[in-house]
């Protein structure tokens, strides 16, 4: 109930902007398409909450009592329980990630389904992953989004089903891997609709910068020395054995 009330305003904004892409060209997750398509307006920002694992600064606690007068406390305890396990059901998730600053990453997410357009509840769970594509408590930070209504618009690019787009900013460093999985379901109090669950989409972080040439110039003679030492050691062993 609380979730429904406080997310109505956010959902209203989503409804307005989410209607726009329906008539546009093929969705693109490239930066050029993003700019050409109107930038942020095509990807309404949603608020994510900390749900589990190591806490990070800059994200509200989604497990706090939702009595605080915060428009964002939309998370419920079961937000990720039904999203993270079990098979995919008719949502294809695509996304791209951009490092906005050393500590801020933006994800732009598109969810495509063969199911019809309409207003639905969206749950999205994002975690900082160790590379295996599975959220592991308590070592991996988990963020959640839980919103309704979100407006899924008809997909005029292939005339099959509907899609939803949004973006979310999270305190994730460039070298950290993130994984993301979403679900769509009926609005609270509405008749039950087909429950949909996306694939798990993992976006690896960029490896740390390679060693500079200047550093290599220092390291190479050292490497040669180590190798040379090894050869000397082997020769010595052989001559001892002989």
Q: Which residues form the interface with Ca ion (CB under 5 A)?
A: 112, 129-130, 132, 134, 136, 155, 158, 160-161
CB of 200 to Ca ion, least distance (A): 10
Helix (H, G, I), strand (E, B) or coil at 212: coil
Q: Which residue is nearest to Ca ion (CB)?
A: 155
CB of 21 to Ca ion, least distance (A): 12
Residue 2, Cβ neighbours under 10 Å: how many? 12
Helix (H, G, I), strand (E, B) or coil at 214: helix
Q: Quick check: 197 and 153 in contact, CB under 8 A? A: no
Report the alpha-carbon distance of residue 209 to residue 213 in Å, rounded.
Answer: 12
Sign (positive/negative) of CA torsion 14, 24, 124, 44? negative
- Cα atoms in the 13 Å half-sphere on the side-chain side of 132: 6
Give the number of residues written for the chain.
242
Q: Quick check: 181 and 201 in contact, CB under 8 A? A: yes
CB of 133 to Ca ion, least distance (A): 7
With respect to Ca ion, which residue has the nearer C-beta, 124 or 129?
129
Residue 93, Cβ neighbours under 10 Å: how many? 19
CB of 139 to Ca ion, least distance (A): 8
CB of 105 to Ca ion, least distance (A): 17
């Amino acid at each position: 109930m609380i979730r429904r009330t406080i997310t109505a305003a956010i959902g209203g904004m989503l409804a307005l902007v989410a209607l726009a892409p329906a008539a546009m060209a093929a969705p693109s997750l490239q930066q050029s398409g993003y700019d050409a398509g109107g930038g942020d307006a095509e990807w309404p920002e949603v608020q994510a909450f900390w749900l589990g694992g190591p806490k990070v600064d800059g994200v509200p606690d989604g497990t706090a009592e939702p009595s605080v007068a915060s428009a964002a406390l939309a998370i419920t305890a079961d937000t990720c329980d039904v999203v993270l396990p079990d098979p995919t059901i008719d949502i294809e998730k695509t996304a791209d990630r951009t490092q906005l600053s050393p500590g801020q990453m933006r994800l732009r997410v598109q969810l495509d389904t063969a199911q019809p357009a309409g207003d639905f509840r969206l749950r999205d769970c994002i975690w900082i992953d160790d590379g295996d594509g599975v959220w592991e408590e308590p070592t991996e930070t988990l963020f959640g989004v839980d919103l309704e209504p979100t407006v899924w618009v008809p997909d005029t690019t292939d005339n099959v089903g509907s899609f939803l787009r949004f973006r979310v900013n999270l305190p994730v460093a460039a070298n950290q891997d993130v994984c993301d999985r979403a679900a769509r379901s009926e609005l609270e109090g509405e008749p039950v609709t087909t429950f949909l669950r996306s694939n798990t989409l993992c976006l690896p972080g960029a490896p740390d910068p390679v060693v500079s040439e200047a550093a290599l110039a220092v390291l190479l003679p050292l490497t040669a020395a180590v190798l040379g030492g090894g050869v000397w050691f082997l020769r010595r062993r052989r001559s001892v054995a002989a």
